[in-house]
Amino acid sequence: MSSRDVLESVTALASYNVLLQVLFRALTFVLNAFTLRFLSREVIGVVNVRLTLLYSTVVFLSREAFRRACLSGSAQQNWRQVVNLLWLTVPLGVLWSVLLGAVWLWLLESPDPDAIPHYPAAVALFALAAVQELLAEPLWVLAQAHMFVRLKVVAESLSIVAKCGLTVALVVCVPRWGLYIFSAAQLVYTGGLLLCYTLYFARFLRSRDADRKPFPFRRLGELLPARVDGEPVLNGRLARLTWSFFKQSFLKQILTEGERYVMTFLNVLDFGDQGVYDIVNNLGSLVARFLFLPIEESFYIFFAKVLERGKTARQQRQEDVAVAADVLECLLKLVLLIGLIITVFGHAYSHLALDIYGGSLLSSGTAPGPTLLRCYCGYVLLLAVNGVTECFTFAAMSKEEVDR
């Protein structure tokens, strides 16, 4: 696949990802507004901050390094060894689930069981949901590497709709279940992802499209870990690169979810204020999640496919280098323009936006919502530049440069 073809596929993937993020955030906002009418702010705070933090930490630490390493130079990969390496995310996820679950249960302050019941069971179920999602990781990487651009959108859209539908139904019918409602919905979401990816690949491998791609596997059973005679189980170079990204992923996770860790471990806000903060934070991060995150995820694949990791610009094909440079320049101009617009208008209209969205609960009172949103608008400008430059550098750097 030429660099121009890769660029076309990645552009389509980025567009689909933007639509997916819009769907996800819109449903999340509507769901938050709906559940606040039936459940307390404290329950929303525990779910959206503490339990979601557990889930995202397990998933991120278990798979982020593998994704970045295995999507690098995917055209030259030995996919048997790549799949074997990707299956290590599952036992790693189990390990993180046990360790972090113990921290969430016994080291952190537990909510009042009368006001927020079923907290221990919810911790276990959210950890289980994280492990369930990791079971689809080899299929996710194969889909991204081979540019199945619609699969991710369809799978996540169906799973999100199922999750929100179940949440609404349970909130209306059995609100007394409390945290069980969100735990069941999270399990449905991750189970839906796994089911969609499995069904798609089962159908795809039986079709003629698998021969035309060409796809490295012929049967669904070949996607399970296995050993080929005469070959090592894992690619040593890829495993070392994964370890380099893994060491770095700790710092990135702390920076990404820093405010949630502060609220969770230092108890600077009660659960009700955490729920309000999470709503304001989600509103402030709309553009980052709608536009910047899909662009970063999609164009990391582009740069990883077009550029050869660890080689200087002179050592690579000059046509590919020129295309990558042009794409990087255009992306930086685009995100800077978006970031500047958000910074200017967001600072002026933060109070009005919060008043329209959440009423006086967010725009006035003890929680400094408008000030927080104004600060976030300036932060969006930094996110704009950081995301694009990060996806480029991590796709081009050698293992030694990643370590440094």
Averaged pLDDT, 322-341: 89
In a domain, 273, yes or no: no
The amino acid present at 274, given as its one-letter code, is Q
Q: Mean pLDDT over all residues of the chain?
A: 81
Averaged pLDDT, 366-395: 80
Specify whether 217 is located in the same domain as 362.
no
DSSP string, 133-189: HHTTHHHHHHHHHTT-HHHHHHHHHHHHHHHHHHHHHHHHH-GGGTHHHHHHHHHHH
Least trusted range by pLDDT, from 47-51, 149-153, 181-185, 327-331: 149-153
Tokens of 356: 């329209």
Among candidate residues 268, 290, 317, the one where a domain is terminated: 268
pLDDT at 365 over 60: no
Specify whether 308 is located in the same domain as 356.
yes
Q: What is the pLDDT of residue 277?
A: 74
pLDDT at 124 over 80: yes
Is pLDDT larger for residue 381 or for residue 404? 381
Averaged pLDDT, 374-378: 82
pLDDT in tens, 179-220: 899 999 999 999 999 999 999 998 888 887 766 667 778 888
Measured distance between the N- and C-terminal CA atoms of the chain, rounded to whole angstroms: 32
In a domain, 276, yes or no: no
CA–CA distance, 220 with 17 (Å, rounded to integer) = 26
Domain span at 175: 3-268
In a domain, 286, yes or no: yes
pLDDT in tens, 257-313: 777 888 777 777 777 677 667 777 777 776 676 778 778 877 887 887 788 777 777
CB 69 within 8 A of CB 235: no
Specify whether 191 is located in the same domain as 98.
yes
Specify whether 181 is located in the same domain as 309.
no
CA–CA distance, 288 with 339 (Å, rounded to integer) = 9
Among candidate residues 218, 233, 268, the one where a domain is terminated: 268
**Strand ranges (E), 36-75:** none
Residue 383's nearest CA partner among 257, 288, 299, 282 is 288
Specify whether 102 is located in the same domain as 233.
yes
CB 275 within 8 A of CB 41: yes
Specify whether 228 is located in the same domain as 294.
no
Q: What is the pTM of this model?
A: 0.73
Counted domains in the chain: 2
Specify whether 140 is located in the same domain as 180.
yes
pLDDT at 74 over 60: no
C-alpha distances (whole Å) from 204 to each of 150, 207, 219, 221, 225 are 13, 5, 10, 13, 19
In a domain, 157, yes or no: yes
Averaged pLDDT, 128-143: 93
Q: What is the pLDDT of residue 312?
A: 75
pLDDT at 75 over 60: no
